[in-house]
Every structure is written in C-alpha cells, then in structure tokens.
Structure 1
Amino acid sequence: MYNPFPACLLAGTSTTMKDLFTLETTDDLQRLKAAWEGVLKRLGPEVPSAWFERFIRPLKPVSFEGGVAIVNVPGKFVLEWVRERYVATIASMLSDELGRPVVVELRTEPREKAKAEAQNVPPSRLAVSTEEPSFRPSEKFSFDSFVVGQSNRLALAGARAVASEPGAKYNPLFIYGPSGLGKTHLLHSIAREILNVNPRFPLVYVSAQQFAEEFVTSLQNNRIEQFRRSQRAVGVWLVDDIQFVAGKDKTQEEIFHTFNYLHSLGKQIVLTSDRPPRDLYLMDERLRSRFEAGLVADIQMPDTETRCAILLSKAAHERVELDHAVAMYLAENVPGNIRVLEGALTKAVAHASVEDRPLSMEIARAMVEQYYRAGVMEKPAFDQIVGAVSKHFKISSDEIKGTSRKAPIVHARHIAVYITREITGDSWKHIGGLFGDRDHTSMMHGYQKISEMMHHDKDLRAQIKMLIRNLYPEN
C-alpha cells in the first residue's frame, strides 16, 4: 500500500513536516540557481560586456515558488533598466533551462544586505577599479561645511541625492551660478561622500579646461585610447566649469561621446557652469539638450543672513572667535562672492593677530574701510556702457539704442548688448527693455552673434575685452 509520508516520519525521527517542505523549497532554489548560471552564459554574448557587468551580473535569484522566480536587484535604477530591456529575455531563458514556464519578478535589495554581499564578491566579478582613485577631494569641502540657504537649497539637495545613490536619479546633475558661490565645493562634497563609503569607487573629477588640454595632448602623442579609458572607466564623472569648452569643436565632440557612453551605462554625471545650458551659445546644441535632461539647479548670490552664517561657519572651522555682530557687519559691507567674503575674514583675523587682540568691530570697520570702501567700484550704468561703445565706434548713443538696420550700427548695438550682459548679468527681458523694449530673443541673438565672432576674430575679442576692462576693472 502506498504511503504518502516518508518512513522517517512514521519512525518517529526528528524530521518534521516543516523540514520536509524546507528541503523541497531548497531544492527548487538550487535548481533555480543552476538554471540562472545557464542564463548568464547564454546572455553574456548578447549583452555588451560593460552593461553585463553593471546591470546583469549583480542580479541575485533568491526564491522560486509556484513558477515565480524572485530576483533581487541592487537599486531602483538597475531594476528599471533591466525591466525595460531584458526581463522578458531572462524569463524566456529561465523557462528553457527549467523546462517549465517561469515568471521573473524583480525586487530591490535591502541596502544593508546589498552592501554586505558586495563585500564578499570576488574581485574578478567587480566592475570597479581595484585601485583607489587618484583624485582626493579637498579636506575643507564637505556637505557638513556647506552653508545652506534659499539661494543654494536645490543644488545642495541634488548633490546629496547623487552622492547617496549615484546614477539613480538626477542624471545628469547640472549646477550653475556665478564664480565663487560653492559649485566646486559641492563637487568635492559629492566625491567625499562616495569615497567615504567606498574608497575604491571609480570616480573622476576634472575641470573642462584640464579635459581639453589632456585631450589635445593625447591626440598629439597618439594616446587617445588611454585618455578615453581614463574618463570613461568610472562610476561618477564630475566636470567643473564646462563653459570653458564652448567654441572648442573637437573637445565638445569628445565630451559628447563620453557623456553618451557614461549615461547609457547609468553612470552618474555632474557638471557645473557659470550659466545655464540654454545660455551656452557656443556649445553644440546636442550637448545643451543633454545637459538639460536631468536636474538643472542654480546657485545664486546668498542673502545677508546666509553670508553671515558662512562667515560664522568658517570661523568655527578655523577655531576663530567671531562675534555675530562682527560677522553681520562683514556680510553687509564686504561686496562680492563667497571667496571675497572669506578673504575679508582672513584679512580681519590677520589684523587682529598683528595687533594681538581679539577680532572686534573696530578692527572689522578699519579693515573694510582700508580694503573695500575706496576700492569698491559700482557696476557701470547702462548709459555708461552705451556711451563707451558709442565713443569707440564713433556711432551716437541714440543710434545704438535706436532702430536703424545699417550694418555698422547693428554691429555696435550687438556689442553693447554683449557688454551689458557680461557686466550686469541682467535678464534678457530687462536688457531688451533698456534697448527700447526689444524682444528678448533679439537680445540673445545679438549676444550669440558677438560671441561667435569673438571666437574667430582676435582683434574684435581684444577690443571688447578692453572696453569691459575700462568700464569695470573688477569684472
């Protein structure tokens, strides 16, 4: 007579019904894992090797029940990527390997478990470099030392998100704003946060100027492939001052292909500039559109309260006693960006040290009068700018501000638009109003035309730089 229960259960051994089903579940999981290895072997030749190591290799089958295979995925970005491109193929291959229909269900892996398992992965399986990155972020730059205010809140939030989960969202992250307001600080902070978690994480920090110079050198020395590997074999690509490659066609082409390569693999890209992508007129339109595809966040000139907080933070970091009233006085009376403001604090501390007494309001006032009162220049008024252009080109101010379409007058008008924008940084709408309520697009066209002409005409570039220098030496 057939007995549905094993003899061991009837004999009173220690094996229980729960143990039996556990054994059956274990057998199913073992069969799934064996089938999974077969899937990897079949899928390998069909998937680019970089994609395979980045997206397919980290997948982990964890259970198989009722024809459903549960596969753990390290992060939401990888989950969406695999689901869109390969989950149907994986399910089909698994069905072939197991000889029965299989449904694949992807689930994000708990962060702590993923981190623990990653530490046990053999070095040959890792898609990251085994060497520590050559770039080391500055000790003075971190998220903790970055003073947040209304002027930089969005940029900081984007940077933190990128550092906590590179490639998962805000890719690319494009941060823009005037010089000296903290863009480089955020790039270094991102790098620091990532390297604190994994000192061997493959990241590159490069200024656009450095990228251009190394690219040209690699072409001259026939080492372009080595250069490309240095920029592309990374998990995070940090590029500072991208505006410096505007007008450099070959360098832009290289950045375009590097950007596409990294972005297609889900690698994190962070760029900074002194202006938004739409204002990078000498930049290839393909690049500008890609820069705007993620999060574009600006950093503006901080308000007085934030400037005061920045001074107090710097003083605390350098263990300098700074009274709140003194910090507020410096914040209100020292013009310029954060670098200028921090430089003023350094001068005040030096004065106090020389006089061997605490940094007081008296010392702060004397320092401001000596270094910042007499030398501070107000930005030239619009009429001054037009007057300077009028004098240089011997065309009346009224004609420059008028509606004449004669070529010499239009040329002078465009130069006045360019200089006004460079010195004041006013919006196109405001500048259009200054020129007789002209449409903002005509102002943008004039600026772009002069920018392009300056790129090819050294004499014109020298003339305009001289005009700007005479009008506003501090620019």
Structure 2
Amino acid sequence: MSLSPAEIWDRLRQRARQVLPEQTYRTWLEPTDAIVVEGDTLMVGAPDQFSADWNESKHADLLATFAPVALGHPMKVRFKVNEERAGRVQMDMFVAPPPAPIVAPPTKQQSRISTPLNPLYTFDQFVIGKSNDVAAAAAQAAAQAPGKVYNPLFIYGETGLGKTHLMQGIAHEQLRRNPALRIAYVGTEQFTNEFISAIQTGQMGDFRRRFREIDLLLVDDVQFLKGKESTQEEFFHTFNAIYEAGRQIVLTSDRPPKEIPGLESRLISRFEWGMVANVDSPDLEHRIAILKKKASVDHLELTIPDEVIEFIAQHVKSSVRELEGSIIKLLAYASFKHREISVDLAREALRDKLRGANTSDFPDVPPTTITVATIQQVVAREWGVTPDGLRSKTRTKQLTTPRQVAMYLCRELLALQLVEIGNAFGGRDHSTVIHSLERVAEDMAGEAGFTERVLKVRGMLETLRTTGQLGT
C-alpha cells in the first residue's frame, strides 16, 4: 500500500498528539502540512522559519520514532517553510507567546472534566476473548443503555489488560450517540488533587457542580482511594448524586471492591450495586488475535509474519500492553538493524522480555539475578544519588531523571507490572510510571549522551544477570 505524503503525515501527527501536550500539538504541529516524500524522508511545511527550526529541533526525531509502527517502515521527518508562506512576516515568538486558539462560547460538549480520550480505545478496536467477554458485554450494554443496566459498572483486573480501553470505549460510543454529552474521565489522583485544590481555594461549590452535574462519570484506579478519608467522603456524595440522577458511572481497579484495603464499607457496597466484571490475562489464542489486530490497525500485515506473531504470543504473557510493546520494540529493532523480521530476529530483539518468561521455555537463558533494589542501586550510583532518594517523594531534577531511568530498566529487564514499579518507587500511580517510561524512551531517541548513559547502566546489569558480578 502506497500512502500519499498527507496520509503519512496524518499518521505520524496523530501518534504525536497522543504523547504531546494538547497546547504543544496545536501550536507547533497542527499548522503544518506534508509537502513531499524524498526517498526515506518526509518534508513537512511550516508557516515560518521559526516554526520550522523549532519543530526540526524539538519534534523531528520523536516523529521518526513513530514511523516503524505507524507506517511499517522507518521514515525521517524534516521541516521547512512552505513556499507560498515564505514571504510572510516571521512570527516573533520571543516577544509574545503563540496566539491562543479561538475558543467558542461554552457548550455542553465542552463542559468536560476529562483527560483526553485515546482515539484507538473504541469498542471496534477491542479484541474479545474468554478472558474479557463478560466485561466487554457489560461495557457495551452500559454504553447502549446508560444509567439503566449495570450501573455502576466496576471493571477490575491486572494492569495492561484492557480495563481503560473498555471504559473509554463506553465514552466514545456515548459521544457518538450524543456529542453534547457531559463527561468526566479522571484518575483517582486527579479527583483527589482537584478536591484538595477546591478546599484550598474555597471553590468547593464549583467543584461539586462540575462533578455532579455530568452525564457520565469514568474513574480509573479507584484502589488509590484507600486511606484518603476526606476524598472518600466527597466521592461518596458525588457517586450518590450521579447515581440518583440516573446517570452512568464506570469504575476500574486492580482488584474487586471487597479486596481494596482502607476503603469504606459504604463505598464497597455502592461499587457492588451494579455489575462487577473481571478482565483476566488472555490465553494463547486470544494473544494471537490481539497481535493480529494490532498488526492490522497499524497496517503491518505484510511486515510481520504469522510465525513471528505466534512466537511473541507464546512467550509474552503478562499483559496486552506488554504484547503491543513487544511489537513496537521488534519493529524499532528491525529498523535500526536493517533486517527482515523473523523469529530469530524477534528472539534477539525481545531477549529481555523472554528472560521474564518461564525458564523452561528458554533453557539457554540464565535465571534473573537482579532485583528492583539492584537496579535502583546501580542507577543511583551512576547519577550520584541514593537509592532512598529514588524511592522518595522528592521531585527535583537531580532525582527525577535517574528515578525515571530506574523505572524504565525495571520494566525492560524485569517485565514488572506498572503497579509493581510504582509501589517500588514510593507508591507512585501507574500514570506516573507510564509518563516516566515514555519520557526515557523519548529522551533516548533524541539525546545520544543520555542514551549512552542508560545503555551503560543496562550493560552493567546484564553482566550481573549473566555472571553474578557487577561490571564496571
């Protein structure tokens, strides 16, 4: 399939929109247009020279990292001034900030307390199997008859198995039916932070109106309500107001309501009023179907052979996110090595993930001899900080970078769940861990010195894993 420059740019730009702040995307990438493909390089037109230079230095390398997945092959991105705009006066970014987007008068559709929905998290992109069929059916029923069946809908399961996908699928379906829907999609941490801010600023009335006068409440990771008595009190009344108004509530957690420690009994009771559905780990056939769906969505059917998909499905079992991450890593590895994708290449590219599998499957792979504490110790020594600092709540630059690197290496070398990583670093929530992983991957794509440093630490840990002795 041959894509036009505009189609190529649209795919890359949509990937960027998922990881960049919305204001950054709208200011720098939205005003650009694809010009032409020259060999393995996409030329993109910017409105003026400053925009071209800024995008070239800040976004070109990041966009190139999306190409193997979005396009099925590597592609460089370069920016230059559009010919027809070259005569325009260059915008003086040093005198004034970029113009704010024109905001229309508030409407019900804009009245949302919501982090952005992932455009891929729709029902038609969700692969149903024995491990999630009940939860998927309940989610679709809740979307078709909000507030009438399965209210609240409580979905629980391990990290990375599709709970958030189903939750957002409900939002997408209801928005398709009613674009003016008032929606709140928040994590427990965001709800808590907004609640605290409202108390500090004396705006509790506004806070309650915003959360209680909505049509659809989606709350991720309610297990983090544990121990927060005042937040639980406020959430209890918010829940009651929405439920009694006949509006839909959807909640996710890593465990069923009764197993959440420190959760008030009255909240447990309400969470069980509707439907409690489990999302479990997919079996082999389901994992193969998920990978084939991923390949189809990203137009990689001709790039990844079936035997490679089956190989990955047999040995990567922890989560759907881990499966999809394996595909991304394999594509990037094949691109860097300039090799065709094969089972041998997959075994080479995914050796770290395979080490986390059953050792009987890989008798040639030595057992893991490193732990989270080992990774924290080695990273801390490289960056000149302490392991306790990495586990602390302190957010200084001196600690943030090595903490993110340590989280990244825990994921890469030990294949830990996001919740496990967060708990090992001071009880941070999974969204913080995801941000850390993405930040390290982004910095490694754009900073050679940083990449070299991370690979140095990784090499030391690999030496420890195979020899039991820490390299220098």
TM-score by length of 2: 0.51
Deviations 1:301-341 (A, max 9, x none): 11111111111111111111322221111011124211112
Quickly say closer, same or farther: Cα 1:267–1:332, change in 2 above 3 A.
Answer: same
Aligned residue in 1 for 2:270? 290
Deviations 1:244-286 (A, max 9, x none): 0111000000010011111111111110000001111310000
Q: What is the alpha-carbon distance in structure 2 between the residues aligned to residue 333 and residue 187 of structure 1?
A: 28
Work out the number of aligned pairs and report it.
258
Deviations 1:70-106 (A, max 9, x none): xxxxxxxxxxxxxxxxxxxxxxxxxxxxxxxxxxxxx
Q: Contact between 1:204 and 1:237, CA under 8 Å: does it hold in 2?
A: yes
SS, match of residue 193 in structure 1: helix
**Given residue 289 of structure 1, which amino acid in structure 2 is its aligned partner?**
S
Aligned residue in 1 for 2:178? 198
Q: Contact between 1:202 and 1:234, CA under 8 Å: does it hold in 2?
A: yes
- Residue 199 of structure 1 and its aligned partner are, at CA, apart by 1.3
Aligned residue in 1 for 2:328? 346
Q: What is the alpha-carbon distance in structure 2 between the residues aligned to residue 184 and residue 287 of structure 1?
A: 21
2:354 pairs with 1:373: yes
Aligned residue in 1 for 2:435? none
Q: What is the alpha-carbon distance in structure 2 between the residues aligned to residue 262 and residue 165 of structure 1?
A: 15
Q: What is the alpha-carbon distance in structure 2 between the residues aligned to residue 190 and residue 140 of structure 1?
A: 13
Aligned residue in 2 for 1:398? none
Q: What is the alpha-carbon distance in structure 2 between the residues aligned to residue 212 and residue 131 of structure 1?
A: 22
Q: Contact between 1:241 and 1:273, CA under 8 Å: does it hold in 2?
A: yes
Q: Which of 280, 305, 312 pairs up with 2:292?
A: 312
Quickly say closer, same or farther: Cα 1:316–1:233, change in 2 above 3 A.
Answer: same
**Given residue 349 of structure 1, which amino acid in structure 2 is its aligned partner?**
L
Q: Contact between 1:333 and 1:368, CA under 8 Å: does it hold in 2?
A: no
Q: Which of 312, 317, 320 pairs up with 1:330?
A: 312
Quickly say closer, same or farther: Cα 1:268–1:328, change in 2 above 3 A.
Answer: same
Aligned residue in 2 for 1:133? 112
Aligned residue in 2 for 1:355? 337
- Residue 352 of structure 1 and its aligned partner are, at CA, apart by 1.7
Aligned residue in 2 for 1:300? 280
In the TM superposition, 1:7-406 aligns within 5 A as 129=108, 131=110, 133=112, 135=114, 136-320=116-300, 321-369=303-351, 371-374=352-355
Deviations 1:95-122 (A, max 9, x none): xxxxxxxxxxxxxxxxxxxxxxxxxxxx
- Residue 205 of structure 1 and its aligned partner are, at CA, apart by 0.5
Quickly say closer, same or farther: Cα 1:132–1:281, change in 2 above 3 A.
Answer: closer
Deviations 1:396-446 (A, max 9, x none): xxxxxxxxxxxxxxxxxxxxxxxxxxxx99xxxxxxxxxxxxxxxxxxxxx
SS, match of residue 285 in structure 2: helix
RMSD: 2.8
**Given residue 354 of structure 2, which amino acid in structure 1 is its aligned partner?**
R
Residue segments in structure 2 that go unaligned for 5+ positions in a row: 1-106, 360-415, 418-425, 428-472
Identical residues among aligned pairs (%): 43
- Residue 375 of structure 1 and its aligned partner are, at CA, apart by 5.4
Residue segments in structure 1 that go unaligned for 5+ positions in a row: 1-127, 379-423, 426-453, 456-475
Q: Contact between 1:172 and 1:291, CA under 8 Å: does it hold in 2?
A: yes
Deviations 1:105-151 (A, max 9, x none): xxxxxxxxxxxxxxxxxxxxxxx936453644211211111110000
Q: What is the alpha-carbon distance in structure 1 between the residues aligned to residue 229 and residue 286 of structure 2?
A: 40
**Given residue 129 of structure 1, which amino acid in structure 2 is its aligned partner?**
K
Q: What is the alpha-carbon distance in structure 1 between the residues aligned to residue 251 and residue 181 of structure 2?
A: 19
SS, match of residue 123 in structure 2: coil
Q: What is the alpha-carbon distance in structure 1 between the residues aligned to residue 130 and residue 194 of structure 2?
A: 37
**Given residue 306 of structure 2, which amino acid in structure 1 is its aligned partner?**
H
**Given residue 198 of structure 1, which amino acid in structure 2 is its aligned partner?**
N
- Residue 295 of structure 1 and its aligned partner are, at CA, apart by 0.6
In our comparison, the structure showing a higher alpha carbon Rg is 1
SS, match of residue 144 in structure 1: helix
Q: What is the alpha-carbon distance in structure 1 between the residues aligned to residue 181 and residue 259 of structure 2?
A: 33
Q: Contact between 1:132 and 1:199, CA under 8 Å: does it hold in 2?
A: no
SS, match of residue 124 in structure 2: coil
**Given residue 122 of structure 2, which amino acid in structure 1 is its aligned partner?**
S
Quickly say closer, same or farther: Cα 1:130–1:355, change in 2 above 3 A.
Answer: closer
Q: Contact between 1:334 and 1:368, CA under 8 Å: does it hold in 2?
A: no
- Residue 357 of structure 1 and its aligned partner are, at CA, apart by 3.8
- Residue 206 of structure 1 and its aligned partner are, at CA, apart by 0.8
Q: Contact between 1:177 and 1:298, CA under 8 Å: does it hold in 2?
A: yes
- Residue 377 of structure 1 and its aligned partner are, at CA, apart by 8.4
Q: What is the alpha-carbon distance in structure 1 between the residues aligned to residue 233 and residue 353 of structure 2?
A: 44
Q: What is the alpha-carbon distance in structure 1 between the residues aligned to residue 336 and residue 113 of structure 2?
A: 39
In the TM superposition, 1:458-473 aligns within 5 A as none
**Given residue 328 of structure 1, which amino acid in structure 2 is its aligned partner?**
E
**Given residue 344 of structure 2, which amino acid in structure 1 is its aligned partner?**
E
**Given residue 157 of structure 1, which amino acid in structure 2 is its aligned partner?**
A
